[in-house]
Amino acid sequence: MKQEVNGAPKEERNTNYQRKFEKVNEIINRLGRSQSALIPILQEVQEEYRYLPEEILTYIATALGLSPASVFGVATFYAQFSLEAKGKYVIKVCDGTACHVRGSEPVLEAIKKRVNLSGKKKTTDDLRYTVETVSCLGACGLAPVVMINDKIYGQMTPEAITIILDQLEKEDAADE
């Protein structure tokens, strides 16, 4: 019987760890160990992990002969990098003025309830969902707006978003 660890079968998780770490080394070797390669390396590594884990940043610093503090500095300077684990689905709820007035808050609550997130936690333990609020997605005409990965959903209501998430889960299960 396979054991379940954090939602993923153990075997798969382990190959995942190894595959990702091998990929990190492949990226470093391919892009070279010069300091100017740092940003491209971080970009590719982030694609692998969906964020930049601390220990991997330390590893990259070691490989490039940089101090961990300066790698950390670069990783926190650019908005494109994230140092927190992000879920497979990043759900952004717009809380700009227009969206707020039109009820983005109940939508946010509904999402959190649906994916089982409480308090300040942004990402689910199984790394499936990350829920964030943003100040404006530039689609005020459709307020309230929710963005899931690259897709925009307008005129959301708590009911509508719950249906969308149900649907997403179904597709996801079929994929796996």
Partner 1 sequence: MEQKNTVLIDGQVVELNGEKNILELTRKIGIEIPTFCYHSELSLYGACRMCVVEVEGRGIMASCSTPPAPGMKILTNSPRVQRVRRTVLELLLANHDRECTTCDRNGSCKLQELANRFGVKKIRFGERDVKLPLDHSSHSLVRDPNKCILCGDCVRMCAEVQGIGVLDFSGRGSNTVVTPAFHKNLADVECVNCGQCGAVCPTGAIVVKDDTDRAWAAIHDPEKMVVVQVAPAVRVALGEEFGLPAGEIVTGKVVAALKRLGFDKVFDTSITADLTVIEETHEFITRLQKGEKMPQFTSCCPAWVKYAEHNAAEYLKNLSSCRSPQQMFGSLVKKYWAQEIGKQPEDIIVVSIMPCTAKKYEAALPQFATDGVPDVDLVLTTQELARMIREAGLVFDQLDIESFDTPFGFTTGAGVIFGATGGVAEAVLRAAHEFVTGQPIDQINFEAVRGFADRKEATVEIAGQEIKVAVVHGLANAKALLQEIKEGKADYHIIEVMACPGGCVGGAGQPISPTMETKKERAKGIYNADKLSQLRKAQDNPVVGKFYERWLAKPNSDAAHDALHTAYSNRGRISGEEIKLMTSQEPDQLDIAVCVGTCCYLNGAYDTLQKFMKLAADSELKERINLHATFCLEKCEQGPVIKVDDEIINGVTPDRVEKIFTEKICTKLK
The contact set with partner 1 (CB under 8 A) reads 3, 5, 10, 13-15, 17-18, 21-22, 25, 53-59, 61-63, 66-73, 76-79
CB of 28 to partner 1, least distance (A): 9
Nearer to partner 1, 21 or 153 (CB): 21
Q: Which is nearer to partner 1, 98 or 127 (CB)?
A: 127
118-125 contacts, C-beta under 8 A, 24 or more apart: 122/84, 123/84, 123/85, 123/86, 123/87, 124/87, 125/6, 125/7
* Nearer Cβ to partner 1 (8/142): 8
* Beta carbon nearer to partner 1, 14 or 116: 14
Identify which of residues 74 and 139 has a Cβ nearer to partner 1 in the complex. Answer: 74
Q: Cα(111)–Cα(92) distance, rounded to whole angstroms?
A: 10
CB of 129 to partner 1, least distance (A): 22
Q: Which residues contact 175 (CB under 8 A, 6 or more apart)?
A: none
In the complex, the smallest distance separating the C-beta of residue 157 from partner 1, rounded to whole angstroms, is 34
Q: Nearest Cα to 40, choosing from 74, 6, 69, 84?
A: 74
Q: At its nearest, how many Å lie between partner 1 and the CB of residue 71?
A: 7
CB of 75 to partner 1, least distance (A): 8
Please state, as a whole number, how many other Cβ atoms lie within 10 Å of the Cβ of residue 35: 13
Q: Would you say 48 or 105 has its CB closer to partner 1? A: 48
Among 32, 38, 44, which Cα is nearest to 72's?
Answer: 38
Report angle CA 116, 91, 75 to the nearest 5 degrees: 110
Q: How far is the CB of 154 from partner 1 (least distance, A)?
A: 30
